[in-house]
Structure 1
Amino acid sequence: MTRILGSLLLVAAAGAVTTGAAPVPKGSPAATATPLGQVIPAPASAAPYGAPYRLDPGTRIGVDPTREGRRAGDQLAALLRPATGYRLPVTTHGAAGIRLRLAKGPYGAEGYRLDSGRWGVTITANEPAGLFHGVQTLRQLLPAAVERRTPQPGPWLVAGGTIKDAPRYAWRGAMLDVSRHFFGVDEVKRYVDRLALYKFNKLHLHLSDDQGWRIAIDSWPRLATYGGSTEVGGGPGGYYTKADYREIVRYAADRHLEVVPEIDMPSHTNAALASYAELNCDGVAPPLYTGTDVGFSSLCVAKDRTYDFVDDVVRELAALTPGRYLHIGGDEAHSTSHEDYVAFMDRVQPIVAKYGKTVVGWHQLTAAKPAPGALAQYWGLDGTSAAEKEQVAAAARNGTGLILSPADRLYLDMKYTKDTPLGLAWAGYVEVQRSYDWDPASYLPGAPASAVRGVEAPLWAETLSTPEQQEFMAFPRLPGAAELGWSPAATHDWDRYKVRLAAQAPRWDALGIGFYHSAQVPWPAA
C-alpha cells in the first residue's frame, strides 16, 4: 500500500492524471485532477489509470430504482448542483455519467468500489452506507470549490482509476459534549455534516452531567426544565425535546451515523440531584452547578428509588434511540465507594439490556463486571497506571470490546500548544502529529488487537460555547481520528498523511471551517 501511495504522489507531481482531459484554462487551480489516494481517510487500495472524467452540463446521476438508491442520488445531486450550476438529474434509466449501484460484492457493510474514467464514474456497494461513503470519496476527488454554495468556474475533473475501500474498524465515533455548554439541533447537525465527510459512523452525545441535563424525560420532567436550565459559567443552558432528539437521530441516520446517547452515572449527576431531592441520600437537593470540577456528585446507590429513576430514563431514551447502544458513563465516581460502584453497575447494566440496548461505559466500568457484549471506552493517558491499564486489558481478554479514546491523543478539547486560546491541558498538549501517529491495535498493553472495536474522538465543552470554537479544536485533528478508524494500518505514515491533510485546507475554507494552522502541516500558500 505504501508503494501505491508513493506512486500516487509521483503521478500527481507529473500531472499524469489529466491525460486525455478536455482543455482547461492554463493556471486554473483545478486544471489537474486530485490523485485517487489523496483523500482522507486513505482508501484501502487506489489504482490510477487512464483519463479523468469531467462533469459537464449534460451529466446525469444514475441510480437503482429503490428508495435507498434514489436517496443516495438525491444527496449527491444536492451536494454538486450549487457549485457546478448543473441540473444533474437523478434517473433510474438511460445513460449516466455518474452511476450509484447496489450490488453484491466483496465490499462489506460499509465498503465500496469506485471506478472512474473518461466514460464516467461508478460507485458500487453492498449497502446504502457503502454508497454514501463512496460519495464522500468522490466529493473529495472533486475540486474543493465544489463545497461552495454558489456557481464556481470548474473544471470538475475526477481522476481515472479504481478505488477499493472498506473500513478497518466498525466503530468510528465522535463524541459531542452538549452538557457543559448546550448546543442546539442545528449546531449538532453542523457537526454531523463535518463527521459525514470523513466517514464517521457513530455520534456519541453526552446528554447529562453536573452542569446540565439535556434530554426531556416525561416521567421526570424537572430533569430538563430545571436541571437543563444552566451551563458552565451560568449561561441559559437548554435541552432537547423528544422531537428535537428524534430530528437529530434522523439527520444523523440520513448520513449513516448512529446516535449513541450517554447518561453519565453514578457520578457527573449534580443536575439530576438538584432537580429531584429524592435522588440524594439525605433527601436534600444541592444547588445547580456551573463550575468545571468533577467527581463530587453521586446518585444514592442504596436507595431503590435510584433504580426507579434509572429504569425510567433508560426506558424513555431507549424508545427514542433506534441504534444498538446506550452509554452509561461510569467515570470519575470519586464520591462512590468501590463496593457501591460495583453494586450500582450490577443493577444498572441489566436495565439497559431489558430495554434492548448494549451497554457502553467509560473504561472505569471494568472495575465492576461488564455485562456480556458491553464495550469499554478507554480514555486513559500514556501515563495511566499500569494497574489500571491491566484492569482494562484483562476485561478485554475476557471478552469486553474496547473503544479507544486516549485523552492525550484523541481528546479534541486538549490544547494544541500552550498558546491555544481554547481548551484544557490536563492531558498535556496534543498537536496534530501526536493525535494521528499511533496504532489502535497495539496501543493498550496486554489487550488483544481483536478486542479493539474502533476509535472515538471526544470533544468536551467546558471552554467551548459556539460551533466555530468546536471546529477550531476539531480541525485538523478530526480527520486523523477518522483515518485511524477507517484506513488499513499499512497506510498510516505521518509524512505522507500531513501532505494529504494540508490539501484539505481549501475544502475547509470553502465550507467555512476556521481551523488551527498547525506548524506541523505544510499548508498551501494563501
Structure 2
Amino acid sequence: MGRVIPALIPAPRVLAVHDGVFELTADTALSGPECHATRFLAALLRRAAGHAPPSAREGALALTLDGPADLGEEGYRLDVTAEAVRLRARTEEGLFRGVQTLRQLLPAEIESPAPLPGPWRVPCVSITDTPRFRWRGVMLDVARHFFDVAAVKRFIDRAVPYKFNILHLHLTDDQGWRLEIPSHPRLTEHGATSQVGEGDGGHFTRADFTEIVAYAAAHHMTVVPEIDLPGHTQAAMASYPHLAPEGVTPELYRGIDVGFSQLAIHNPATYDFLDAVFTELAALTPGPYLHVGGDEALQTTAEDYAAFMTRTLPLAVRHDRTVVAWQEAAAAPDLPEGTHLQYWRPTHEPVPEPLAAAASRGLPLIMSPANRAYLDMKYDDDTALGLRWAGTVGVRQSYEWDPESLVPGARVVGVEAPLWTETLTTPDDLDHMLYPRLPGLAEVAWSPAPKDWPSYVTRLRAHTARWDAAGITSYHRSPELED
C-alpha cells in the first residue's frame, strides 16, 4: 500500500508521512504504563475487534513515558513503521493526547460501537506535537436547559478526540440552579425546578457531580465550575429571599432575557452564602479554577459591582482557587493575581478599556469571541436551532481567526468554545451545534498559526465518516463542506 496523507484534526506541529502501513491485528500486543491513556487505547481496540489486545512487556504497539523534555506536559512523539507503533511522552496526559492522534490514524470504522474484523491499517508517519495554548476549553450551559450526567459524559466524549482539556460547566443562571448545596437545600428543591420554556429542570446531586468530575479526569479534562454572579441569579433569589435586594422572593424564571437580576450586594448574608457555595465547590472539584461569572450585571452600578467583586473574589482565593470571570470583571479593582478573564463579545465591537488595561497588566485572557467561538450561534439564516444576536457563525468563520490578534499585547492562554442552551433541549441538539464547528476551534486552540482553510476543509470532510461510524446522526450538513 502506498503513501497515505492522514486527515488529522487538530493538525500536528510536525508531520512526516512515509511509505507503507502498520497492520494492527488480533495478535498485536499492547504495552504501556498503567494509566488512562493505555486503558483508553485498550478499550478502543477492544470495542473495534470484539476482544482486548494481548498485553506484553514490549508490544509492537508501545506507549512509554521516556519522551524528551521539550515535549512539555501535553506533547508527544508518535512513530509508526511497518513493524511497530511507538508513542512517547513525558507525562500521562501527553500519552493521552497522542492516543487521540493514533485513533485518527486508524480507519473511520474504529469509531463504530460494533466490532468489525481487522486488520486495522495505520499509515507510517513520524509526528512531533505540542499544543499552542494550555487552555483548550468547551463550555456546556446546563442552567438554561438541564442536561443529566449521561448527557454531560457524552459531551465529554465529543470533545476528547480533538484534544480539549477544559470542561467549563455553567451551573447557575436565572432559569435554574443545578448543583446540590447541602447547607442550602432550597437551591435545588425549588431553584432547580425550572428551565427555559416548559419542563421540570433538574440538578446534579453531589454524587452526580463527583461522577462527572471523575469521568472528565479519566479523559484528562479539568472541570471548571461556574456560579454566575452577581447577575444571572434569579433562581438563587427565588430559593432564598434574603439574597434579593428587597428581601422579597421573586418568581422562578423561564425566559431568555438577561441583565435583570442581581444579588443583595450590601447584605453580609450574601457573602456567607457564597462562602458556603465555594466551600462545597472546592470539596467537589479538585481542579484549580473557579468561575464566578461577572457578566451582564446590568442592574448593578459600577460602584456596587466593584464592591461585590472586592468581597467575593477573596472567597474563591481563600479556597485555593484561581479566579476565572467573564470580561466585565476587568473593571473590578484589585483582581487577584492570576485571575483569568474570558473575552466573549463579538470581534467587531471595540475592546473595552478595562479589558485592554487588564491585558496590559499581563492578566491572562481566554478567547471566546461570540462571532467566532460561540457554538450556539446559528450556522446560517436557515438554521432551526440557536440564536443570532452575534450574527450567524459558519464553519469557516469559526475556524479562520487568530486568538492573539484580538486584544493588542494580551497574554492569551487559551481558547474556549461555549455552548449555551436557550434553544437546545436534547443531546442530539448539542451534537448539531458542535459539529462541524468544534474540530475547527480545536485546531485554533492546539495547532500553530496560521490556518489554511483549503487544507482544513479537506481534512474535515474526512471526519464526517467518523461521526457517521460513531452514530452521530444530527450534525449539521454544512454546504461549506461540499466538494
Class of the TM-score when normalised by the shorter of the 2 chains: over 0.9
**Secondary structure of the residue that 1:391 maps to in structure 2?**
helix
Please tell me the residue identity of whatever aligns with 1:335. Answer: Q
Residue 73 of structure 1 and its aligned partner are, at CA, apart by 2.0
Per the alignment, residue 480 of structure 1 pairs with 440
1:396 to 347, 359, 378: 359
Residue 107 of structure 1 and its aligned partner are, at CA, apart by 1.0
1:69-109 per-residue CA deviation (whole Å, 9 max, x = no partner) reads xx422211111222233541233x1x412101111412110
Per the alignment, residue 462 of structure 1 pairs with 422
2:409 to 432, 439, 447: 447
- TM-score normalised by L of structure 1: 0.89
Please tell me the residue identity of whatever aligns with 1:140. Answer: Q
Where relative contact order (Cα < 8 A, 6+ residues apart) is larger, the structure is: 2
Per the alignment, residue 299 of structure 2 pairs with 335
Q: Are residue 429 (structure 1) and residue 415 (structure 2) matched? A: no
Per the alignment, residue 79 of structure 1 pairs with 44
Check whether the contact 1:83–1:146 (CA below 8 A) recurs between aligned residues. yes
Distance in structure 1 (CA, Å) of the matches to 2:283 and 2:198: 32
1:315 to 264, 279, 294: 279
Per the alignment, residue 493 of structure 1 pairs with 452
Distance in structure 2 (CA, Å) of the matches to 1:424 and 1:496: 29
1:21-67 per-residue CA deviation (whole Å, 9 max, x = no partner) reads xxxxxxxxxxxx5x24x200000000112421011121111113xx3
Residue 161 of structure 1 and its aligned partner are, at CA, apart by 2.1
Check whether the contact 2:378–2:386 (CA below 8 A) recurs between aligned residues. yes
1:459-513 per-residue CA deviation (whole Å, 9 max, x = no partner) reads 00000010100010110001111111100114x1111111111110000011122
Q: Are residue 262 (structure 1) and residue 248 (structure 2) matched? A: no
2:208 to 229, 244, 247: 244
Q: Are residue 165 (structure 1) and residue 123 (structure 2) matched? A: no
Per the alignment, residue 63 of structure 2 pairs with 100
Check whether the contact 1:498–1:522 (CA below 8 A) recurs between aligned residues. no
Distance in structure 2 (CA, Å) of the matches to 1:56 and 1:349: 55
Check whether the contact 2:37–2:93 (CA below 8 A) recurs between aligned residues. no
Distance in structure 1 (CA, Å) of the matches to 2:102 and 2:457: 21
Distance in structure 1 (CA, Å) of the matches to 2:39 and 2:175: 41
Per the alignment, residue 110 of structure 2 pairs with 146
Check whether the contact 1:73–1:90 (CA below 8 A) recurs between aligned residues. no
Gap change, CA 1:272 and 1:249, over 3 Å in 2: same
**Secondary structure of the residue that 1:49 maps to in structure 2?**
strand
Distance in structure 2 (CA, Å) of the matches to 1:399 and 1:225: 42
Check whether the contact 2:238–2:249 (CA below 8 A) recurs between aligned residues. yes
Distance in structure 1 (CA, Å) of the matches to 2:278 and 2:39: 36
1:204-250 per-residue CA deviation (whole Å, 9 max, x = no partner) reads 00000000000011111111111001111131111001110010000
1:412 to 375, 383, 394: 375
Distance in structure 2 (CA, Å) of the matches to 1:376 and 1:74: 35
Check whether the contact 1:77–1:90 (CA below 8 A) recurs between aligned residues. no
**Secondary structure of the residue that 1:51 maps to in structure 2?**
strand
Q: Are residue 507 (structure 1) and residue 466 (structure 2) matched? A: yes
**Secondary structure of the residue that 2:215 maps to in structure 1?**
helix
Residue 429 of structure 1 and its aligned partner are, at CA, apart by 0.4
**Secondary structure of the residue that 1:233 maps to in structure 2?**
coil
> Structure 1: 5+ residue runs without aligned partners?
1-14, 18-32
Distance in structure 2 (CA, Å) of the matches to 1:208 and 1:82: 37
RMSD: 1.3
Please tell me the residue identity of whatever aligns with 1:245. Answer: F
Residue 190 of structure 1 and its aligned partner are, at CA, apart by 0.2
Is 407-416 or 100-109 further displaced after alignment? 100-109
Is 151-160 or 263-272 further displaced after alignment? 151-160
Residue 399 of structure 1 and its aligned partner are, at CA, apart by 2.0
- TM-score normalised by L of structure 2: 0.97
Check whether the contact 2:12–2:129 (CA below 8 A) recurs between aligned residues. yes
Please tell me the residue identity of whatever aligns with 2:193. Answer: S
Q: Are residue 44 (structure 1) and residue 3 (structure 2) matched? A: no
Please tell me the residue identity of whatever aligns with 2:379. Answer: Y
Q: How many aligned residue pairs are there? A: 480
1:346-425 equivalences under 5 Å are 346-369=310-333, 370-386=335-351, 388=352, 390-425=353-388
Distance in structure 2 (CA, Å) of the matches to 1:148 and 1:159: 20
Distance in structure 2 (CA, Å) of the matches to 1:250 and 1:47: 36
Distance in structure 2 (CA, Å) of the matches to 1:343 and 1:119: 65
Distance in structure 2 (CA, Å) of the matches to 1:516 and 1:241: 33
1:289-340 per-residue CA deviation (whole Å, 9 max, x = no partner) reads 0110100000011111111111111111111110000000000000111100
Residue 279 of structure 1 and its aligned partner are, at CA, apart by 0.7
Please tell me the residue identity of whatever aligns with 1:435. Answer: S
Please tell me the residue identity of whatever aligns with 1:325. Answer: Y
Is 476-485 or 367-376 further displaced after alignment? 367-376
1:196 to 128, 138, 160: 160
Check whether the contact 2:45–2:52 (CA below 8 A) recurs between aligned residues. no
1:390-423 per-residue CA deviation (whole Å, 9 max, x = no partner) reads 3212201102110000000010000001100000
